Structure 1
Amino acid sequence: MKKGKMIKALSIILAMLAIIFATVTPSYAASSSQTSTTKKVAKGSVLKRIKAKKELVVGTSADYPPLEFTTSENGSTKYVGVDIELAKEIAKDLGVKLVIKNMSFDSLLVALETGKIDMVISGMTPTPERKESVDFSKIYYKPSGEYFLINKKDATKYTNIKSLKGKTVGAQTGSIQYNEIKSQMKGSTVKGLGKINNLVLALQSGKVSAVLMEELIAKAYAQNNNNLKAVKSDIKDDAAGNAVAMAKGQPDLVAAVNKTINKVKKNNLIDNKFLPQAAKYMKTANKTNKMSQYWSYFLKGVGYTIVITVFSVLIGIILGIILALMRLSRNKLLHCLAVAYIEFIRGTPQMVQILFVYFGVGYLISNLSAIIAGIIAIGLNSGAYVAEDIRSGIDSLPKGQVEAARSLGLSQAKAYRYVIIPQAIRNIWPALGNEFITLLKDSSLVSVIGVSELMYQTQLVQTSTYRGVLPLFIAMVIYFIMTFSLTRLLNYFERRMKKND
């Protein structure tokens, strides 16, 4: 293919990609609370931005009852707990709307530093290490101690650090408890997971012998699950307590938050109002946590999963064709660029790519929502694999196909468009089908950045119902139905192609 025609083709395809992104972004960025609000967290900028947008975006890991968790209300997710009530008070005092962004605990500070959220309220302790990256408010709540959550059948077996020697003990990744196990339980192995509900699931399935938590959280899970028990640990807890985390260089915002905390402490709102409200929601969830009440969660997750899959497939196909043609090109620069891209994408984990697009690229591009970042990351990953499938399909065709097309008066571009690529697609259709099915399942990875796809919704159900296995089983069945249906659809088109041979 001539250089001028190649450049023209690339320009047309890049324009198509721009149209796709422009079409997707307004419909989802406007409705999603998961949007970036700044390119760089400049000194003194956050409070101004909050008041300008009239919106306070608070990051939390809503799997930590009674501090922050979810409940179902009229089929919708509602964030509740002590920390959520504090966030409401802060937003009220600032005169703005509160938006909760639920994500993994170990991603919260990254989101804060990159401007994805305005502050973190998630039972976070202001350690010296964390203070190097972010600023903290005054302490608003001091936990009464650390507890081991264990299986009730092990109540007499695991009672202290010594009894857990040689065992695996779980804790939330990036938490104080994780570091306490490493420093004070030298004879035990620490197992870190991003979500508390996954740690509880690991406990129930025997993957860990105990999970270290704050007292209130451990008791909350024990009270809502008859198979679990909370046991006071002999861990030395030197934590200062929980505080609100904010980006560096925001003294006006810190002062505003401290003013609210002073009011909360003066009126003893945590003990008199916030904790009783959280206990009420937990008690209600314990009585009415039937799976049938959460069908809307799964339905919403399916909708987002399908959207992510469809647009990622479009990006993957378009990008795959571009990269395949570039790799087959006689232009050394285009060939090398394609090879470098394909090898790099295939040589790095997809989850890392998703995090990089959301936090890295999103740091430079304002208003890059989580769902758009997820679609871009999965589409870019898929493009590398589709490119290799298409390239192998083109290489499998007899050389005489191009010569025959050219002898009929077709230009090289038209020969590829009307003769070569259609035949290549037909030959590699089963391989492309496998890639599309894998892509549908891999959409679950975007839950790590807070996209409300099926896996994210499943985690919300786990948190709301205090059940670990059943929501996962339901998610597995739904994924199977979607992949089975997609397989039947792909097989239908494959039969149609064979009939046209």
Structure 2
Amino acid sequence: MKKKTTIKSIIIAVILVAVACTGFFMYKKSQVKETVKINSVKDIKGKKIGVQLGTTGDIYASDYEKDKSGTKVERYNKGTDATQALIQKKIDCVIIDEQPAKAFVAGNRSLSILKEEFVKENYAFCVGKNNKELTKKINAALKKLKENKTIEKINKNYIGKADEIGKTPYKKKNLPRKNGKLIVATNAAFPPYESYKNGKIVGIDVDIVQAVCDELDMELEIEDMEFDSIITAVQSGKADIGASGMTVTEERKMNIDFTNSYTTSKQVVIVNNGKSVGNATSIVEKFKSDFITDNRYEYILSGLKSTLIITILALVIGIVFGSLLAIVRTTHDKNGGLIILNFFAKIYLTIIRGTPTMVQLLIIYYVVFASANVNKIFVAVIAFGLNSSAYVAEVVRSGIMSVDNGQFEAGRSLGLSYSTTMINVVLPQAFKNILPALGNELITLLKETSISGYIGLIDLTKGSDIIRSVTYDAIMPLGVVALIYLFIVMLLTAGVNKLERSLRKNEKR
């Protein structure tokens, strides 16, 4: 029986992979859309514009939505996602900062940047409005770094002339760091300002912030998160400053303060130039680029570890707390007791089951633990554990209610207390009945952890996002992550089925 189950699982996995590959190649083959010609900024009216959510490109592009010319704005969490959509001709152009645009175009010969700039802008670090003293200190440090040409050297090291790039890397000073830690929020998918290299976040902003920390005798700690979460992190105190090519705008100044500008940049428009993408990269070369180069596979392994830890611990919380909720609810249903606890349990279940998991995760991170610098895995475990408990509670309650009432009465007639009867007689029988449903909850919980990246936690999905932001390849990183999830789900399903069969065998004896 075991052998048949294993063979069946392998066959299903092969079929799913084959279907996915076939679908992909059919999709690529059908991709013969005409390239929309955009020769100037004026031509983007009425087109599909791609932007990174929360950026100034998003702000400026929003104005086109109101001009009644049929312009549509597609918002993506990352600039690389918008660029990938442009390559696939899902959109007609991308509005983004100049230097990241150059990095995107360098790896895709089918893309070009319009010579005409979209708008000029100034970059600065964002600081909470209640942290005026820190703003003053950073401004003083930036002034000194400009005067001694440190910032100029950092810029040349990344975006200077061909013979300047890589020649003047900033070196961290050996200092006691007696003034504490500076927590910096960033979005490390924005080369050359911040991106991953050899497992570390590097770039212009990172070097400038490190230089500022050296001036202030502070230790630097960088938190990677989605761009649209940076300002929230600074406002809530999760980070001291935000540094991610942040443009100073009047709208943002209403919510946060800015330091003095440390550089100028401009928004540009990326378009398809109609050229062929050239010879396709072999699977081996793609695999090497995505996973072997710079040991990028470590992002997947690190993310997998976090995903499994969160899933297991959250499930424990869900089962324990969910069972307690179920006991409260069934006790009230059976004998009308625990009225107050049942009232609060119903409110809890209504709120948790009626709101999205991601909203709950963000509320717990940015509101509940706003002033506490807690471990992000701990936050994720609490968030997913509390969410899971609401669903487990109803599953366990249905299992308890499915046990014949005579079992409960028999236990009480033998002199057992209510709690002893519930724990030793009813719950073991209920557990057998709800095991498949609990297995489904475990699988759902595993997949829900993929949103952990919204609080800057590197889980399995976030690991693939980091690789995509560096290699600009979406297919293989996402495909590998999908297969890993599939493999884990198949193992969990097989484990639950084996446990269920074992319990049924014991039941027959």
Same fold (TM > 0.5): yes
- Given the superposition, is the C-alpha separation of residues 351 and 156 from structure 1 closer, same or farther in structure 2, using an over 3 Å criterion? closer
Residue matched to 1:253: 134
Residue matched to 1:479: 485
Shift of 1:234: 5.8
- Given the superposition, is the C-alpha separation of residues 408 and 232 from structure 1 closer, same or farther in structure 2, using an over 3 Å criterion? farther
* CA deviation string 1:49-70 (max 9, x = no partner): xxxxxxxxxxxxxxxxxxxxxx
Residue matched to 1:119: none
1:201–1:469 Cα contact (<8 Å) kept: no
In structure 1, distance between residues paired with 2:84 and 2:395: 39
**Aligned counterpart for 1:220 among listed residues 89, 103, 113:** 103
* CA deviation string 1:43-89 (max 9, x = no partner): xxxxxxxxxxxxxxxxxxxxxxxxxxxxxxxxxxxxxxxxxxxxxxx
What is the correspondence of 1:10-409 to structure 2 with a 5 Å cutoff? 157-184=37-64, 186=67, 187=69, 188-232=71-115, 235=118, 237=119, 239=121, 241-277=122-158, 289-293=289-293, 294-328=296-330, 329=332, 330=336, 331-364=338-371, 366-409=372-415
* CA deviation string 1:221-270 (max 9, x = no partner): 000223332224563x263x010111113333222211222233334444
- Given the superposition, is the C-alpha separation of residues 271 and 184 from structure 1 closer, same or farther in structure 2, using an over 3 Å criterion? farther
May I ask how many residue pairs the two structures share in their alignment?
348
SS at match of 2:289: coil
1:200–1:468 Cα contact (<8 Å) kept: no
Higher Rg of the two aligned structures: 2
In structure 2, distance between residues paired with 1:393 and 1:470: 42
Residue matched to 1:90: none
In structure 1, distance between residues paired with 2:383 and 2:440: 19
Identify unmatched segments of 5+ residues in structure 1. Answer: 1-150
Compute the TM-score of the two structures, normalised by the length of structure 1. Answer: 0.65
- Given the superposition, is the C-alpha separation of residues 404 and 440 from structure 1 closer, same or farther in structure 2, using an over 3 Å criterion? same
- Given the superposition, is the C-alpha separation of residues 477 and 486 from structure 1 closer, same or farther in structure 2, using an over 3 Å criterion? same
- Given the superposition, is the C-alpha separation of residues 165 and 421 from structure 1 closer, same or farther in structure 2, using an over 3 Å criterion? same
Compute the TM-score of the two structures, normalised by the length of structure 2. Answer: 0.64
SS at match of 2:123: coil
Moved over 6 A (4+): 151-156, 281-288
- Given the superposition, is the C-alpha separation of residues 175 and 154 from structure 1 closer, same or farther in structure 2, using an over 3 Å criterion? farther
Backbone CA RMSD of aligned residues = 2.7
Identify unmatched segments of 5+ residues in structure 2. Answer: 1-30, 160-164, 167-190, 199-280
Shift of 1:342: 0.8
Residue matched to 2:265: none
Residue matched to 1:10: none
In structure 1, distance between residues paired with 2:147 and 2:115: 30
SS at match of 1:171: strand
Shift of 1:291: 2.3
Higher relative contact order (CA 8 A, sep 6+): 1
In structure 2, distance between residues paired with 1:307 and 1:360: 23
- Given the superposition, is the C-alpha separation of residues 173 and 409 from structure 1 closer, same or farther in structure 2, using an over 3 Å criterion? same
What letter is aligned with 2:53? T
- Given the superposition, is the C-alpha separation of residues 268 and 392 from structure 1 closer, same or farther in structure 2, using an over 3 Å criterion? same
* CA deviation string 1:299-325 (max 9, x = no partner): 111111110001000000011101111
Aligned-residue identity in percent: 34
- Given the superposition, is the C-alpha separation of residues 225 and 444 from structure 1 closer, same or farther in structure 2, using an over 3 Å criterion? same
In structure 1, distance between residues paired with 2:447 and 2:36: 42
* CA deviation string 1:333-375 (max 9, x = no partner): 12111111111111100000000000011125x2322211111
Alignment of 1:427 with 2:433, yes or no, is yes
2:290–2:477 Cα contact (<8 Å) kept: no
SS at match of 2:447: helix
1:317–1:386 Cα contact (<8 Å) kept: yes
SS at match of 1:208: coil
SS at match of 1:428: helix
